[in-house]
Structure 1
């Protein structure tokens, strides 16, 4: 049984009910709607497709909204081919200068002669030669097709911009009106950024949505421990990180971010170029498969595929291959252990996992909140954590955690009743039976105590 989770991005390649249905049937645990692209009509269409397919299949699927955040982008223009050594003019889109438009004036107040500017995740790079108030002359270092609305980054620098934009606030109104389970927060620089987003959502009546902090900038890496403490989960956004740091140091940065999230027992998702070759090919590369093995060893909860499923030619095959590789990797790789000396309540969860692994027991939990299953998940048991959930909302939040298999059993009067409901469901489905050893764990409804018991089923 696959323990790591798969989050797929929606887009033109899966804007179809049959494709979404196949993606769920073959292993997609969650879908990401990237609010940097499309509009509310398209986003709502995807929500309806996901809900219809998941309900028809009877599979719990988590929905994640990804806020665009304070990003500088190219403006609108017809795609053009540029070549190495060519000179170009970049200009503020509202100025009357001829050139390639940039949508934010902060770009021109941030650049200096000699700066390297990366466009479209580094596919195109230019060097600044001269700077004016609303324009800059640049020399092309790496050429390719330059396309509109692509992201722009100054290597080694961060734009001095507010943590959320007017567009983000408007998008959060949409998020609050729909049944999203998580919001990915882009360009998180510190814990205050998370607090601002949480408060904004709360004002919209959406205070139960989980927040996943995307670590994409030097500030985010520097402040990763406080961000891990404040957020509900972490996303290692290797695309933007790769435009701020030398590529050769990215593996160590990835390792540090994952370790920080795991020490706080928060889910951590690895994103960008998981199976990037599958945008054009029906199979992943050997290097990509090795990358998945390494990430499993580091202890990620799952993977976020982006272009592979949103614009790639083989969105369903991406899910099939990723699920297949994860299941094989689990047979051979044990995630690195973590130190939890500063989280006393987590020691109970660690004891559950250690005992279950030692005696080969199944783990059952009942989630009065997501906490008990989150704590158990944080120690990466070798078997699934079958978790009874009182509601669909809690089940969907649990669905991105390592190994958690949420089961909606309904609201119970106490944790004992919840565990009994979960056990009875698993017996009925033939997942557990006579002679099996199970460890049952739950946190009390008042959150003041834990219940843990070991039993052999008769």
Structure 2
């Protein structure tokens, strides 16, 4: 299913989008990737959604990527005597400790010894998405005496953020490890790791995945921003998760960080998703706010590979409308001449390999001729990612004999994926590319396309050929109806 836009749309599945009819409607409305949130739902429910997506993929002959988002080490306070919680007043004293007794207006349980070991006087603690801010006055291995800097209601099981220290937490909880193995056996395409702090966190997830899924690091902690270059180097993709990032950092810091991370991902030819609260009002309203539309537009102007819906498509009242809105905004932005100017002005020459030169040449040919598409044969998806990094003006057609590669490329900017037979001659590659471009409606027989491939065929990292070919080119076989 060809999209008439380059940025991809990720839709989270949930109670509002769990049937075949609902998920198919989301895909037809514009969702390219479906996110399975492992923080919610039993394994049987996750498996059922996975089965439905694969059925839709088969019914529509359209590769679909599945992203499993692991919960990560979520930190929470314990329960409270008062089920409504307690009001913490600014300037009051409040204690956090390991005592299992239920919380009061004076103290609460924080069953995470790793937090206490990392704290020091002056550290900040944020509770309930940053609505409550505490400053540590004194601390030990099992307690922290704090002053309330910003007050509010604290109640059972509210989340805790520690913005200014690197916590000695395992990147993956026991639940994450079980979930990871489960979804890898199911056959998801991408694994998102939550609350990544250091490159070792990504490497741990990769070791457990054993090549069964690509690894995407979620950037939602200041420590991850500080170590971003190292994290990017060991990741297959990035999610700028602005929810927790906006809690742990001053909100005014998030927009420039988003822009910087998106540019670095593009330079590295790795897909980047911008996520969280993009169309949040559409959870309850059929129309977004103007500010939300501008936020989506900003992510597209920055060159993001994908934009993501969370509760809007998972639990909202208008999931189809939310996807349709994103699709319409993307088409409008990409039709704006200013979009092309911004994207091309932000292009940086990257790499010194033959493949880098091939894809740069392909983009330049597209800009100076009437070539309709850049068609690239790829085993791992790397060549398609390099072409996408150039942000060419013509559509990208990525051809691969590997279903898993085609699915993973659904997250890459501007890439239209086609599963082909294995080819062993460049002539066959050209014919396959021409057929795919015609089938997708990107080119007609009278048009020309660019074909890139590598010799020897079916070997990763060998892109070394570029040819401008007529789209009418074909091989004549006895069994070929053409």
Q: Is the structural similarity TM-score above 0.5?
A: yes
- 1:180: which partner in 2? 188
- 1:339: which partner in 2? 348
Work out which of the residue numbers 289, 305, 310 in structure 2 matches 1:285: 289
Deviates more, 1:415-424 or 1:207-216: 415-424
Is the 2:93–2:147 contact (alpha carbons within 8 Å) kept by the matching residues of 1? yes
- TM-score (norm. length: structure 1): 0.89
Pair 1:371-2:382 in alignment: yes
Note closer, same or farther for the CA distance 1:82–1:368 as it changes in structure 2 (3 Å cut): same
User: Max radius of gyration: which structure?
Assistant: 2
Is the 1:225–1:261 contact (alpha carbons within 8 Å) kept by the matching residues of 2? no
Note closer, same or farther for the CA distance 1:356–1:25 as it changes in structure 2 (3 Å cut): same
Pair 1:451-2:460 in alignment: no
Deviates more, 1:71-80 or 1:375-384: 71-80
Unmatched 5+ residue regions in structure 1? none
Helix, strand or coil for the counterpart of 1:24?
helix
- TM-score (norm. length: structure 2): 0.85
| Cα offset, 1:357, TM superposition | 2.7
Is the 1:391–1:410 contact (alpha carbons within 8 Å) kept by the matching residues of 2? no
Pair 1:119-2:127 in alignment: yes
Work out which of the residue numbers 306, 309, 316 in structure 1 matches 2:313: 309
Helix, strand or coil for the counterpart of 1:73?
coil
Work out which of the residue numbers 238, 244, 250 in structure 1 matches 2:248: 244
Measure the CA separation in 2 of the matches of 1:343 and 1:225.
Answer: 19
Unmatched 5+ residue regions in structure 2? 473-482
Q: How many aligned residue pairs are there?
A: 453
Pair 1:157-2:171 in alignment: no
Any residues of structure 2 matched to 1:251-330 within 5 Å, and which? 251-330=255-334
Measure the CA separation in 2 of the matches of 1:313 and 1:50.
Answer: 21
Work out which of the residue numbers 233, 239, 248 in structure 2 matches 1:229: 233
Pair 1:218-2:226 in alignment: no
Measure the CA separation in 2 of the matches of 1:252 and 1:127.
Answer: 27
Pair 1:44-2:58 in alignment: no
Note closer, same or farther for the CA distance 1:79–1:156 as it changes in structure 2 (3 Å cut): farther
Pair 1:355-2:365 in alignment: yes
